A and B are shown apart, each in its own frame.
Chain A
């Protein structure tokens, strides 16, 4: 038993250290993303946004967090208490788990697994359970309808995200995220696969329940959707889980279409910059697009949302899979052929 502990102690400790190395910057990123989201939204509407707490209002989000921590956790009478409390934990845990395979630089990744992209797809398809459980266990009508909407929406858009990922994989020939990035050395995939880039971006908005697809939380119809009955810390867990998922989708767009950590042109002053700086810049750019869409576009109607998912994106991405594989086959461009 002692030898077992000796063998695994150092290994486990290193893994925990690596996990902290992912977790702490991620939390910092979420805080900055929340702040940036509010600032960009305010700027579009010619408001100032948060500007009171700390310099430029930078401490607004930590102050909000502190407020939530000290608030009472209200458990609704008649709710299923266990499921009610597990739901936000599942949401946050899953969203963090997906980051284990995201490479931020060549070789800088916690788990460089062969099926990285499938892993992320699987984890993000599990995200719907947090929302479903929250909506059901609240034992209240608004959360329940919010959860039903959200589940239907996420399942629908996952289909087209899956096909978009397949078109990218056809050009790469590997499921490994690092190899997906390295395959873009000559050309970033958003140039040859531009329509799929657009489909992926919009589906990512729908998958993360961002405006204009934030119907599960449409305040004019459903109060706050599945989060209605939540308060205090569980609410913060939902909020953080949601924003970590948004950042994950930004990172996925970067890795699949914008060349990950690769510099735009492989010449001296650009390729001397460390890879994670490029990665970070690209993620910030995609997040900026997410925030601008939130500010510009009015909310979709629910039947329009479903129509877009099933009648526009699904045929389009299905056609793209066939077209891409045909082109790769007939021009002998397919990797591994």
Chain B
């Protein structure tokens, strides 16, 4: 138990510190790297909760794909000219406002349930029994049955977003020669394989 507690404090401590560093470092690339560090430690927290599937998916999707693209974009910015920390004070009021709203919401939720989260009816149907199943199996067994509509819907939204971004950025450029591999492979009679005799050469 103690080891679990220690690892929990380690992971959450690193999350807090690195999240602070995300907003306080001057260099945007360092900010993204700290963001990645906090993602990784959040995955560690999932592992402590025995949600290893979620942890791995968090790393694969957020750290392995989303944050890479993030870093990609930030790396190419010319940040040396764009840093302006003088007007940092002007963001403090709205930051405090958002923080207060979050804390108020948390307090309202905790007071309403009187710290007893067991009797909240979140789901229309109680979940089936998951004992003896690994959590990958458990997630799969509800995701593709009870929640198939939501799952499909989010898939469609992602597809629409993907097609939309392609349509927005696609532009036809005229006068560009492109390599069409299928045409190259279908070329007949234009290429001969010639066994060149030594000292004779070939006729062209």
Report yes or no: A118 in contact with B53, Cβ–Cβ below 8 A.
yes
Q: List which A24-38 residues lie within 8 A (CB) of chain B.
A: none
Report yes or no: B72 in contact with A126, Cβ–Cβ below 8 A.
no
- A125 contacts which of B2, B59, B72 (Cβ < 8 Å)? B59
B3 is an interface residue with CB less than 8 A from chain A? yes
Q: How many residues of B contact A (CB 8 A)?
A: 26
Instruction: Tell me which of B8-16, B61-69, B120-128, B148-156 binds A.
Output: B61-69
Q: List which B1-42 residues lie within 8 A (CB) of chain A.
A: 2-3, 27, 29-30, 33, 36
On chain A, which size bracket covers the interface? 20 to 34
Report yes or no: B3 in contact with A8, Cβ–Cβ below 8 A.
yes
Report yes or no: B64 in contact with A158, Cβ–Cβ below 8 A.
yes
A155 is an interface residue with CB less than 8 A from chain B? yes
A148 is an interface residue with CB less than 8 A from chain B? yes
The answer to whether A126 and B2 touch (CB under 8 A), given A114-B52, A132-B71, is no
Contact pattern, B 177-189, Cβ under 8 Å of A = 1, otherwise 0? 0010100000000
- State in angstroms the CA–CA spacing of A4 and B6 once bound together: 12
B136 is an interface residue with CB less than 8 A from chain A? yes
Query: A133 contacts which chain B residues (CB < 8 A)?
Result: 33
A contact face: mostly helix, strand, loop, or mixed: helix
Query: B113 contacts which chain A residues (CB < 8 A)?
Result: none
Report yes or no: B53 in contact with A115, Cβ–Cβ below 8 A.
yes
- State in angstroms the CA–CA spacing of A304 and B56 once bound together: 31
A303 is an interface residue with CB less than 8 A from chain B? yes
B75 is an interface residue with CB less than 8 A from chain A? yes
B contact face: mostly helix, strand, loop, or mixed: helix
The answer to whether A125 and B60 touch (CB under 8 A), given A133-B33, A307-B181, is yes
Report yes or no: B136 in contact with A114, Cβ–Cβ below 8 A.
yes
Report yes or no: A125 in contact with B64, Cβ–Cβ below 8 A.
yes
Query: B60 contacts which chain A residues (CB < 8 A)?
Result: 118, 121-122, 125, 162
The answer to whether A155 and B68 touch (CB under 8 A), given A4-B2, A122-B56, A133-B33, is yes
B100 is an interface residue with CB less than 8 A from chain A? no
State the Cβ distance, B33 to closest chain A Cβ, in Å.
7
State the Cβ distance, B79 to closest chain A Cβ, in Å.
11
Query: A158 contacts which chain B residues (CB < 8 A)?
Result: 64-65
- A119 contacts which of B30, B56, B68, B75 (Cβ < 8 Å)? B56
B57 is an interface residue with CB less than 8 A from chain A? yes
Q: List which B150-204 residues lie within 8 A (CB) of chain A.
A: 179, 181
Q: List which A1-44 residues lie within 8 A (CB) of chain B.
A: 4, 8
Report yes or no: A118 in contact with B72, Cβ–Cβ below 8 A.
no
- State in angstroms the CA–CA spacing of A293 and B65 once bound together: 28
- A115 contacts which of B33, B36, B63, B136 (Cβ < 8 Å)? B136
Query: A162 contacts which chain B residues (CB < 8 A)?
Result: 60
Q: From A121, which residue of chain B is reached at the shortest CB distance?
A: B60
Report yes or no: B68 in contact with A115, Cβ–Cβ below 8 A.
no
A83 is an interface residue with CB less than 8 A from chain B? yes
Q: From B64, which residue of chain A is reached at the shortest CB distance?
A: A125
Q: List which A97-126 residues lie within 8 A (CB) of chain B.
A: 113-115, 118-119, 121-122, 125-126
- State in angstroms the CA–CA spacing of A80 and B3 once bound together: 36
- State in angstroms the CA–CA spacing of A132 and B69 once bound together: 11
6 contacts between A and B (CB under 8 A): A8-B3, A83-B30, A115-B56, A115-B136, A125-B60, A148-B72
User: Which 9 pairs from chain A and chain B are nearest by CB?
Assistant: A125-B64, A118-B56, A122-B59, A114-B134, A122-B60, A115-B52, A122-B56, A136-B75, A115-B56
Given contact pairs A126-B59, A136-B29, A304-B179, a sample of 7 additional A-B residue pairs in the complex whose CB atoms are under 8 Å apart: A4-B2, A83-B30, A114-B136, A126-B64, A132-B75, A155-B68, A175-B136
Q: Which A residues lie at the B interface, using CB under 8 A?
A: 4, 8, 80, 83, 113-115, 118-119, 121-122, 125-126, 128-129, 132-133, 136, 144, 148, 151, 155, 158, 162, 175, 303-304, 307
